Amino acid sequence: MSAPADLPQPVANRLIDMAQSSVFAQVVTLMRALMVAPQRWTLIILPIGSVVVITAIAIGQVRLNDWQGALYDALQQHDLAGFMHQIGVFLIIVSALLALVVAQTWLTEVGKVRLRGWLTRDLLDEWLRPKRAYLFAFAGEIGVNPDQRIHEDARHLSELSVNLGNGLLQSSLLLVSFVSVLWMLSSEVVFSWSGRDFTIPGYMVWCAIAYAAIGSWLAWLVGRPLIALNAEHYAREAEFRVALVRVVERAEAIVLYQGESDERASLDVKFDATQSITRKIAGGLARLTWITSGHGWLAIIAPFVIASPGYFSGKLSLGSLMITVGAFNQVQSSLRWFVDNFSSIADWRATLLRVVSMREALRAIDTLHATEDRIAFSEHEAEDIVLDHVEAYLPGSLVERATLEEAHVTLKPGDHVLVAGEVAAGKTTFFLALAGLWPWGSGTIRLPPRADLMFLPQRPYLPAGTLRNAIVYPADIAAFKDEAIGVALKRVGLGDMIGELDRDATWDKFLSLDQQQLLGFARVLLHGPKWVFLDDALGALDPAKRQDLISVFDHELAGATVVSTGRNPDDGFYTRTLHLRRYARQERVPAA
């Protein structure tokens, strides 16, 4: 079903603002949520540990670069003792760096797991608040495929965030560590001009900054379209995956109708859309590779060329030259971190937007279609249901609506009420309105406390797991004894399933529709509600079986009120009939 109108302006504006906001604003949104999460201390301590370890690695890298100069000087001087000493120093430095790198790897991987754990649970908490999962489907494009955002996007964002965060931190620390080294060595790069020697303060530093800046600017210029392409890619992949799942779930009907070729054509359309975006991304990455790889290859020779005046003037020894080249490479490598990681940054930016926009849309769901009229709901302690001028907008329309011809209705305990109407009169929509899931319309609905109510749709929800869990849902499995469950199963004609109470299965696929409806009715028997709402929930049963089940309300559940949509069976069970009519708002419906 589609929403009764487009995304409401307050929600739409909020999401547009989110799409246009800075990365900083989106990160702040997640950080605010993190600061109130129970796992916040773990997610704070892990980055602090990473900072300590990465800082130690940066110090070790500086020491390793100094060692390289000492080694080359020993080689230049043919100093065997010095050479062997430097080999020993090397083993000590590398041993320490190895231990630190292992620690960093552990912190990185644990950080990914913990961050994903928090982010996924946070999205699940927002998504599965009362009624949100249902209403979110009417939030426009952002409400499509929430499973993709919760599962794949949350995982991808967590991994990219940790990897990019650690990489940026390490590059920043190495930059700070080696800039001072490179600045001092710049004084040994001597230039001659008109018979005079001179040096340029920080010459090697400025060259490294210029080299990295040019590469970063070119990477941004060429790679910027990848941000939008990655976001579009995730959406198209999700649509293709959902289409595949739909074919799997409806395989029996598809084969019976010999609809394989039609389904194949439909899948081809969605897959072609995915392939089209993938090809565009491939082209963008190829163009970006010209910049990143070319920049990287030139970095091999660039520091030697830049520092060559100092070496050939005799001011720089071979060891000092190698220290200078090493420091230059570290500085420009740190500065070109943006170049090397631009495709990942584009991917992270797109994923961040998808996750944050979903979270913001869920938090704004209460204002969904806020400009449309809404049915007024209330609970009261009185033992009755009051329906006053109730009409519900039909899905996808602001004009078509379903209305009760009876303007004022009071339902008393023990009533058996049929809500009748022509085909497509909106009976299911009216059922959902009574349950509070479809708020768009007008009038007033007053209900007893929700704990006394039970709603049974045409196809009851049967969670995967044991049969016992499917029957007692949503109660805990310990709430009912095996004897009570067995009695309920026998009463509805499923006594042969008593021995399968502890069997795990996907019951909504394993059982036929009539068995599912019988199981749903067994659930009603167990819970014993005072008010039972049925949306043609026994329509798959033969008349004799249906008559046997509704006799429950004359015996085991005597006194319970039954409100059912569907066909009039003319069996004397219903004591009252309400009439539902579909009409356009320009028409007038006479009050009863």
> In the predicted model, is pLDDT for residue 195 greater than 70?
no
Confidence category of residue 589, pLDDT binned at 50, 70, 90: very low
Average pLDDT over residues 556-567: 85
Tokens of 539: 């329509």
Tokens of 318: 């071979």
The phi and psi torsions of 403 (rounded to 5 degrees) equal -135, 150
pLDDT tens-digit series, residues 499-518: 888 888 888 888 888 888 88
Confidence category of residue 107, pLDDT binned at 50, 70, 90: very high
Greater confidence (449 vs 72) lies with 449
> In the predicted model, is pLDDT for residue 162 greater than 90?
yes
pLDDT of residue 199: 76
- 419 DSSP β-pair partners: 565, 578
Angle, alpha carbons 323-205-96 (nearest 5°):
40
pLDDT of residue 399: 66
The total number of residues written for the chain in this structure: 592
Tokens 């109470």 map to which residue?
501
Write the secondary structure of 254-275 as one string of H (helix), E (strand) and C (coil). Answer: HHHCCCHHHHHHHHHHHHHHHH
- Output the CA–CA distances (angstroms, integers) from residue 168 to 61, 98, 173, 288, in the order listed: 16, 20, 9, 20
* 324 in Cβ contact with 307 (< 8 Å): yes
Instruction: Determine if the pTM surpasses 0.85.
Output: no
pLDDT tens-digit series, residues 125-141: 989 888 888 888 777 77
pLDDT tens-digit series, residues 365-374: 776 666 677 8
Runs of H (alpha helix) within 128-202: 132-136, 146-148, 154-186
Average pLDDT, the chain: 81
Average pLDDT over residues 66-90: 82
Whole-angstrom distance, CA of residue 580 vs CA of residue 583: 10
